A and B are shown apart, each in its own frame.
Chain A
Amino acid sequence: MNPIRLTGRAAIGLARMTGRVAIFAARGLARAGQHPAELARQVMQIGWLSLPVVGLTALFTGAALALQIHSGGERFQAGDVVPAIVAIGMARELGPVLGGLMVAARVASAIAAELGTMRVTEQIDALVTLSTDPMGWLVSPRLWAALLCVPVLVGVGDVIGIMGGWLIGVNALGFNSALYLSNSWAYLESWDVVSGLLKGAVFGLIVALSGCWFGMTAAGGAAGVGRATTNAVVAASVGILAANFALTGLFF
Chain B
Amino acid sequence: MLSVRGLCKAYGAKRVLDGVDLDLAEGESLVVIGGSGTGKSVLLRCILGLETPDAGAILWQGRPLAGQRGAFMEHFGMLFQNAALFDSLPVWRNVAFRLLRTMPRARARAIAVEKLARVGLGPEVADLYPAELSGGMRKRAGLARAIAADPKVIFFDEPTTGLDPIRAAAINALIRGIVDETGATAITITHDMSSVRSIADRVALLDRGRIRWQGGVAEMDAAGDDYLRDFVAGRARPMARGPGA
Residues of chain A having any CB pair with chain B under 8 Å? 114, 117-118, 121-123, 125-126, 128-132
**Chain A CB within 8 A of B228 CB:** no
Q: Are A132 and B97 CB-contacts (below 8 A) given A122-B80, A122-B82, A125-B50?
A: yes
Q: Report 13 cross-chain contacts, Cβ distance below 8 Å, ordered by A residue.
A: A121-B82, A122-B84, A123-B85, A123-B86, A125-B48, A125-B50, A125-B80, A125-B84, A128-B48, A129-B76, A129-B78, A130-B97, A131-B73
Task: Report which of B45, B49, B78 forms a contact with A126, defined as CB distance below 8 A.
Answer: B78
Interface set, chain B 75-91, CB cutoff 8 A to A? 76-78, 80-82, 84-88
- For B176, what are the chain A residues with a Cβ–Cβ distance below 8 Å? none
Neighbour of A130 across the interface among B50, B82, B88, B98, CB < 8 A: B98
Closest 8 CB pairs of A and B: A126-B84, A122-B84, A129-B78, A131-B73, A122-B80, A130-B98, A123-B84, A130-B97
B70 at the interface (CB under 8 A from A): yes
Query: Which B residues lie within 8 Å of A121 (CB)?
Result: 82, 84
The residue from A117, A126, A132 contacting B80, defined by CB atoms under 8 A apart:
A126
In Å, the complex CA distance between A122 and B158 comes to 13
Please indicate the chain A residues that have their CB under 8 angstroms from the CB of B70 in the complex. Answer: 131
Q: Does chain A have a CB within 8 A of B74? A: yes
Query: Bound state CA distance, A131 and B70, in angstroms?
Result: 7
Asked whether A129 and B81 contact (CB < 8 A) given A123-B86, A123-B87, the answer is no
Inter-chain contact count A-B, CB under 8 Å? 44
Most central of B48, B77, B84 by chain A CB within 10 Å: B84
- In the complex the two chains form, is A126's CB within 8 Å of B48's CB? no
What B residues does A131 contact at CB under 8 A?
A: 70, 73-74, 98
With contact pairs A122-B80, A122-B81 given, residues A129 and B86 touching in the complex (Cβ less than 8 Å): no
Contacts of A132 in B (CB 8 A): 97-98
- Of the candidates A121, A123, A128, A130, the one having the most CB atoms from chain B within 10 angstroms of its own CB is A130
By secondary structure, the A interface counts as helix
Q: What is the bound-complex CA distance between A122 and B155, given in angstroms?
A: 14
Interface string of B40-73 (1 = CB under 8 A from A): 0000010011100000000000000000001001
Chain B neighbourhood of A130, CB < 8 A: 73, 97-98, 145
Residue of A at shortest CB range from B81?
A122
B159 CB → nearest A CB, Å? 14
- Complexed CA–CA distance, A131 and B97 (Å): 10
CB-CB under 8 A from B84, the residues of chain A are 121-123, 125-126
A123-B86, A123-B87 known; A128 vs B49 contact (CB < 8 Å): yes
* Residues of A close to B98: CB separation below 8 A: 130-132
**What is the 8 Å Cβ interface bit string for chain B, positions 78-113, against chain A (1 contact, 0 not)?**
101110111110000000011000000000000000
Nearest-Cβ distance from residue B152 to partner chain A, whole angstroms: 14
The smallest beta-carbon distance between A196 and chain B, in angstroms, is 33
Q: What is the distance, in angstroms, from B86's C-beta to the closest C-beta of chain A?
A: 6
The interface residues of chain B lying within 8 Å CB-to-CB of A118 are 86-87
Instruction: Type the 1/0 row for B16-52, where 1 means its CB is closer than 8 Å to any CB of A.
Output: 0000000000000000000000000000010011100
Closest to A122 in B: B84
Contacts of B82 in A (CB 8 A): 121-122
Contacts of A125 in B (CB 8 A): 45, 48, 50, 80, 84
Please give, as numbers and ranges, the residues of chain A lying within 8 Å of B155 by CB-CB distance: 129
- Mark interface residues in B195-234 (1 if CB within 8 Å of A CB, else 0): 0000000000000000000000000000000000000000
- How close is A220's CB to chain B, nearest CB, in angstroms? 14
Cα separation A129 to B80 with both chains bound (whole Å)? 10
B77, B85, B87: the one within 8 Å of A129 (CB): B77
A122 to B88, CA, bound (A): 14
Question: Once bound together, how far apart are the Cα atoms of A66 and B49, in whole Å?
Answer: 59
Chain B residue nearest to A37 (CB atoms) is B100
Q: Roughly how many angstroms separate A125 CA and B49 CA in the complex, as a whole number?
A: 10
Could you list 13 further interchain pairs (A-B, Cβ under 8 angstroms) beyond the known A129-B77, A130-B145?
A114-B88, A122-B80, A122-B84, A125-B50, A125-B84, A126-B78, A126-B86, A128-B49, A128-B73, A129-B73, A131-B73, A132-B97, A132-B98
